[in-house]
Amino acid sequence: MSIARQINWAAALTVLVTLAAAWFLPHYVGRYYTHMLALAGVTIIAGHGLNLLVGYTGQVSLGHAGFYAIGAYTAALLATKAGLGFWATIPVALVLSAIAGVLIAIPSFKLEGPYLSMVTIAFGIIVHSALIEWDGLTGGTQGVLNIPRISWFGQKLPLERQFFVIATAVLLITLLMRNLTRSPWGRNLVAVRSNPIAAQAVGLDTAFVKTIAFTLSAAIAGLAGVLFAFLQGFISPEAFDFDQSIFFLTGVMFGGAGLTAGPIAGGLLTTFLPELLQEFADYRLIVYGLMIVLSLYFLPHGLMGIVTRWRPVGAAQRGGRALEVAKAFEVRPPPSSRGPVISLRNVQMAFGGVRALNGVGFDVHPGEVAAVIGPNGAGKTVLLNVLCGYYAPTEGEIRLQGRRIDGASPQRIARAGVARTFQTAQLFSELSVLDNVRLGFAPRSDKLLFDCLVASPRMARKDHEMRADAESLLQFVGYAGDPNAPAASLPLGHQRLVEIARALASNPLLVVMDEPAAGLNPTEVNELKTLIRKIGDHGIAVLLVEHHMDLVMELSRRIVVLDYGVKIAEGEPDLIRKNPEVVAAYLGSEEGAHQD
């Protein structure tokens, strides 16, 4: 508790000092530089918004000037045509630019890389063309003139006070971004960038996370637009073209994408650099271009990347290890019946003409360890992918505690209680071990977005809980390494353990493991055996796909044998071992069961 107070004091002090500086600075630097600083403030705000997308969520926007334009024109038109004041225009501008953000987010669900860049470019150009074309409303190429100044209780503010308003806005947005990126939601954003498949596996709705990022980002750009319009007093389409989008992006990359301080350094630099380059006259833009290339080359993490050492987002401070294991598993309502956790009936999966699964069906009961085995290409991994929602089965039913889940999205199935580990561990490689496991609790942060933005005590409490629970889960799986190490740096065996801990974090009914023993040494395989048994003892069903026969035979109570997508046998290990069809499938006997 006392630590929390100390941090608050430090933050409060920073805020006060910044505000005091913003109040007095204009007297020392004169009108021209005050205006320049105010413009830099606008760029910083827009940069914060863009950083959320580019730096955290990994969605490159090349049309951010579009959102900026929507904010600026909304405010300018409301002020000049409807007579609204500065403060009244802000909410309208924020809402409209946020709506544009939602619209641009929708294609981002399915589009990747260059395809998404194209949508953002097209959006920017359409907005820019609309500003010119729709001249009855926007004043065409002339733009909007005579926008009133920022006012305070009906009184128009002089430049130095306008600057103070903008500086306060910069401070506010910076704090919000700082809070957000250090919170569970910040981890969600990074997770979507870092490993979309794993993000779905922990139950994160990537579409929803992207929508939130685009919406916030667009609204913040809209706010920058409002400030720009009122600061300048006039706006015209020129200020909102493709080059402006590039200018924003340059600022973020220059300053350091993925760092809260990045857009601040970048905004100041991109605003004042052209000033410094004034003496180059005609060479100005050439030098500017060269500096972009060189800085990308020599400062891969931007200017702030040198100052702040690149560290995983939301990396936690070292803390005491925690608590008893049981706490990490929430108490679930007792199963609706004593029946199976999961039951598959006649599951078919066809890719074009190839039948990867042909009428597979079996049950797994609570606390039971079951295994799916079969020769290569038998359809084992396809089965897991169908079960976890990565493919929708062509036919058949999958029920989780009696409720149909076939065809649902991976994140819905994950949330319903099916956790998954992958053949090659899918971790969020640049995040710490602890953050990886905490992301297993992602569904817990669903309703915390606002709390994350303002760093509410509720958020702090929940995050603390997640941290403690994550630590006890790491203990449970027997991870002995550094909880703050980036996941990418871990040896294979540790990666597996972390992935299992993350899977358990969702408090699953069933854990599905795709070849958990692959690549492990004999000691590690033994530890894995103990761990899987322990998981079963906690009442969690485990479904293994494994080639490691020794492990399968020792652990499983039920074995399902697949061959060419067909279930050729099911039963206890001893029966399976003696089953002639199974032996045939593995050894390729002539009387094998390969009719289809």
Distance CA 239, CA 70 (A): 12
Residue 106 interacts with other proteins (CB under 8 A): yes or no = yes
* CB-facing half-sphere around the CA of 61: CA atoms within 13 A: 40
CB of 293 to other proteins, least distance (A): 5
Interaction mask 196-235, other proteins, x per CB under 8 A = -x--------------------------------------
Residue 117 interacts with other proteins (CB under 8 A): yes or no = yes
Nearest to 147 by CA among 30, 210, 51, 228: 228
Residue 122 interacts with other proteins (CB under 8 A): yes or no = yes
Distance CA 195, CA 58 (A): 10
What is the pairing mode between strands 558-563 and 541-545? Answer: unpaired
Q: Which two tokens stand for residue 85?
A: 């004041």
CB of 119 to other proteins, least distance (A): 6
* Distances in whole angstroms, Cα of residue 95 to Cα of each of 102, 127, 128, 216, 235: 11, 17, 19, 10, 20
Q: Which two tokens stand for residue 145?
A: 């003139």
Count CB neighbours of 1 within 10 A: 4
Residue 250 interacts with other proteins (CB under 8 A): yes or no = yes
User: Which residue from 9, 24, 87, 351 is in contact with other proteins, where contact means CB under 8 A?
Assistant: 351
Residue 290 interacts with other proteins (CB under 8 A): yes or no = yes
User: Which residue from 11, 29, 111, 460 is in contact with other proteins, where contact means CB under 8 A?
Assistant: 111
Residue type, 367: G
CB of 333 to other proteins, least distance (A): 30
Q: How many residues does the chain have?
A: 596
Contact partners, residue 168, CB within 8 Å, separation at least 6: 19, 22
Shorter beta-carbon distance to other proteins: residue 188 or 250: 250
Shorter beta-carbon distance to other proteins: residue 434 or 503: 503
- Residues 91/226, Cβ–Cβ less than 8 Å: no
Strands across the sheet with 342-351, in order? 354-364, 342-351, 395-400, 403-404
CB of 245 to other proteins, least distance (A): 10
Residue 242 interacts with other proteins (CB under 8 A): yes or no = yes
Residue 318 interacts with other proteins (CB under 8 A): yes or no = no
User: Which residue from 36, 171, 207, 246 is in contact with other proteins, where contact means CB under 8 A?
Assistant: 246
User: Which residue from 36, 99, 159, 292 is in contact with other proteins, where contact means CB under 8 A?
Assistant: 292
Shorter beta-carbon distance to other proteins: residue 60 or 501: 60
CB of 531 to other proteins, least distance (A): 23
Count CB neighbours of 346 within 10 A: 13
Greatest CA separation for the chain: 94
DSSP three-state, residue 50: helix
Residue 407 interacts with other proteins (CB under 8 A): yes or no = no
CB of 285 to other proteins, least distance (A): 4
Distance CA 144, CA 74 (A): 11
User: Which residue from 114, 136, 154, 353 is in contact with other proteins, where contact means CB under 8 A?
Assistant: 114
Distance CA 60, CA 25 (A): 35
Shorter beta-carbon distance to other proteins: residue 214 or 479: 214
Angle among Cα 267, 270, 275 to the nearest 5 degrees reads 125
* Stretch binding other proteins (CB under 8 A), from 283-291, 326-334, 335-343, 581-589: 283-291
Residue 82 interacts with other proteins (CB under 8 A): yes or no = no
Residue 115 interacts with other proteins (CB under 8 A): yes or no = yes
Residue 269 interacts with other proteins (CB under 8 A): yes or no = no
Q: Say what angle helices 242-255 and 113-133 make with each other, to 10 degrees.
A: 130
Shorter beta-carbon distance to other proteins: residue 164 or 422: 422
CB of 593 to other proteins, least distance (A): 28
Distance CA 35, CA 162 (A): 9
Residue 289 interacts with other proteins (CB under 8 A): yes or no = yes
Nearest to 372 by CA among 352, 389, 347: 347
Residue 136 interacts with other proteins (CB under 8 A): yes or no = no
Residue 575 interacts with other proteins (CB under 8 A): yes or no = no
Q: Say what angle helices 206-232 and 184-194 make with each other, to 10 degrees.
A: 110
Would you call 303 exposed, middle or buried from its count of C-beta atoms within 10 A (0-12, 13-18, 19+)?
A: buried
Cα four-point dihedral sign 31, 32, 37, 41: positive
Residue 276 interacts with other proteins (CB under 8 A): yes or no = no
Q: Site residues for other proteins, window 49-68 (CB under 8 A)?
A: 60, 62
Interaction mask 422-441, other proteins, x per CB under 8 A = x-------------------
Residue 99 interacts with other proteins (CB under 8 A): yes or no = no
CB of 266 to other proteins, least distance (A): 12
CB of 520 to other proteins, least distance (A): 21
* Residues touching other proteins, count (CB under 8 A): 47
- Residues 511/535, Cβ–Cβ less than 8 Å: yes
Distance CA 459, CA 472 (A): 20
CB of 283 to other proteins, least distance (A): 7
CB of 172 to other proteins, least distance (A): 28
Residue 153 interacts with other proteins (CB under 8 A): yes or no = no
- Residues 68/224, Cβ–Cβ less than 8 Å: yes
Binding site residues, other proteins, CB under 8 A: 60, 62, 106-107, 110-111, 113-115, 117-119, 121-123, 125-126, 128-130, 132-133, 197, 242, 246, 249-250, 253, 282-286, 288-290, 292-293, 296-297, 300, 351, 381, 385, 390-391, 422
